Structure 1
């Protein structure tokens, strides 16, 4: 398991999704998450991302801090930005940062499908830690699987994404196409776009934008807590 993640400085050259990733700790080691009842309603939280996008890495770093406080109150998912293209020979999807990003998307989707939080999140954090240039590489996919305790070559995750770690498994590619379509249905176009309870509340696209209620980890924690309280009105806490 990762015990400490220290982010390297990313290039500041402007791009569609340029950004800078900050130092963070994995949320799974945090002692201060407040327990909830088994019957509570989780808050849907969606991050619209591209796996090799610096803005996505920054967003995920911020949400690693958020999850230290509210991991048990959210239903978190990543949804991937791309464009369906039947002429694309491997994935049938165009990814902004190239086929390697499509592979990274597939790897993350397969881990998220077959492993629970916080394990799949820790897998994403491991990939991010290697640097955006390495997300999607087969050796990094296998390395991060070992770090978080996934036996890739013999597991459902590996069969989904490709036993060689390539991210070209048939099931994984189908998941990527579904994710791209779902992202389009949400009208998410920028990585990283943050939705809380199905409402777009903030974007990081080179800088923070359209974040009416703030963009610090504490701001997202506050908004999630408010949504959680509203969704669970009438429930008796044990």
Structure 2
């Protein structure tokens, strides 16, 4: 009997040892899996992610983004037009003065020029519109409305009609009612304009325009650049305007700077280039 029991006990012991080995093996596998999970989690949490740097698009940059996030168009890449940049604030009397002078310029040579608005403001992610404006949030809203009108214009003269309409009621710039009235009167696509001004597109345009002003190191409203080079400043009075600041002076310089293949407007024949004109800037 004892011998028989001894013989029976051997396979049972083997099975027990095998089971114990299986348990130890499973525990080792689980331990390794847990260590790997913790390693992956730690890598994700503490890896020093690097966000792609966003370079402010400034006057004349040829490489702009191609989707809704393409915040600033490059007019010189379309039709080789002369780029006129305004560094302004929408409720600034000096900006209104410059824009009034340029209204005659736009009427005369809009076919060979384009305009970029760069608004002077201090970027602040906690501000209502993403920046602090000198004349308050109403100005920030006015900046956005002007950028959206420029983005969704049918042509440059229609945008300028919108701009002059706003400027004629400078104390109300930033009012949605005034902006909508001016957009409709100027013949803009009001649906596209409202969608831009009331949603993220307008704020993104505003943020980029403020970055452009900072990149160019311009803090005075109103400052005019032509093809990426300073041309004139109006700040209580005109200065740094070696080529003059009358409408004809700007027309002359834009005509001289135009290097495109399309014919110049006939008015260009009335102006002779001077040594002060701004070249293409590249």
Q: Deviations over 1:143-182 (max 9, x none)?
A: 1122123453xx12111112xxxxxx32211111111001
How many Å separate the matches in 2 of 1:143 and 1:207? 31
The list of structure 1 runs, each at least 4 consecutive aligned residues, that deviate by more than 6 angstroms after superposition, is none
1:115 pairs, out of 149, 153, 166, with: 153
- Larger helix fraction of residues: 2
How many Å separate the matches in 2 of 1:134 and 1:215? 28
For residues 218 and 170 of structure 1, do their structure 2 counterparts lie closer, same or farther at Cα, with a shift above 3 Å needed? same
In the TM superposition, 1:101-140 aligns within 5 A as 101-116=139-154, 117-130=156-169, 132-140=170-178
In the TM superposition, 1:25-64 aligns within 5 A as 41-64=80-103
For residues 236 and 68 of structure 1, do their structure 2 counterparts lie closer, same or farther at Cα, with a shift above 3 Å needed? closer
Asked which structure has the greater CA Rg, the reply is 2
How many Å separate the matches in 1 of 2:148 and 2:252? 30
1:215 pairs, out of 245, 268, 274, with: 245
In the TM superposition, 1:85-104 aligns within 5 A as 85-88=124-127, 90-104=128-142
For residues 236 and 175 of structure 1, do their structure 2 counterparts lie closer, same or farther at Cα, with a shift above 3 Å needed? closer
Aligned partner of 1:73 in structure 2 is: 112
Aligned partner of 1:14 in structure 2 is: none
| Unaligned 5+ runs, structure 2 | 1-77, 265-282
For residues 236 and 95 of structure 1, do their structure 2 counterparts lie closer, same or farther at Cα, with a shift above 3 Å needed? closer
Greater RCO structure (CA 8 Å; 6+ sep): 1
1:225 aligns with 2:271: no
For residues 69 and 124 of structure 1, do their structure 2 counterparts lie closer, same or farther at Cα, with a shift above 3 Å needed? same
How many Å separate the matches in 1 of 2:263 and 2:103? 26
In the TM superposition, 1:150-161 aligns within 5 A as 150=188, 152=190, 155-161=191-197
Q: Which moved more, 1:187-196 or 1:54-63?
A: 187-196
For residues 59 and 96 of structure 1, do their structure 2 counterparts lie closer, same or farther at Cα, with a shift above 3 Å needed? same
TM-score (norm 1): 0.73
How many Å separate the matches in 2 of 1:219 and 1:213? 6
Aligned length: 186
| Unaligned 5+ runs, structure 1 | 1-38, 163-168
Aligned partner of 2:280 in structure 1 is: none
Q: Deviations over 1:182-209 (max 9, x none)?
A: 1111222111100111110100011001
